[in-house]
Amino acid sequence: DSGVTQTPKHLITATGQRVTLRCSPRSGDLSVYWYQQSLDQGLQFLIQYYNGEERAKGNILERFSAQQFPDLHSELNLSSLELGDSALYFCASSPSSKSGELFFGEGSRLTVL
């Protein structure tokens, strides 16, 4: 158990819909990262938050957005869903120190039909 909690574990929805994925980082970790894992794209970095502020942005679509709340949990919002958005979405957190270690949750598997 990494200490990172993601909900829901599985989600099935239809094209055009909107979903929210939630992540609770490890206690004390200020950084939260979102990654998308798909068969054709591999593990892609989406976005990072540090203590409530956006710190780095990767290959995140404009239809996607995220935020980190004062209690440090984070949400990833996916809207106008397309079939190609079906993937495993991972949240990871890291300590404030330069450990270089990301602690990953078990992921949220999104299926868009």
Structure-block tokens of residue 58: 């990767």
Number of residues assigned to the chain: 113
Does residue 96 bind another protein (CB under 8 A)? yes
Contact 84, 15 (CB under 8 A): no
How far apart (Å, rounded) are the C-alpha atoms in residues 58 and 67? 15
Of 11, 22, 26, 45, which lies in the binding site for another protein, with binding defined by CB under 8 A? 45
The contact pattern for another protein, residues 3-42, with x = CB under 8 A and - = no contact, is -x-------------------------xx-x-x------x
Using an 8 Å Cβ cutoff, are 101 and 94 in contact? yes
Single out the segment in contact with another protein by CB under 8 A; choices: 15-23, 61-69, 77-85, 89-97.
89-97
> Least Å distance between CB 31 and another protein?
6
C-beta neighbour count of 10 within 10 angstroms: 9
Binder to another protein among 32, 66, 107, 110 (CB under 8 A)?
107
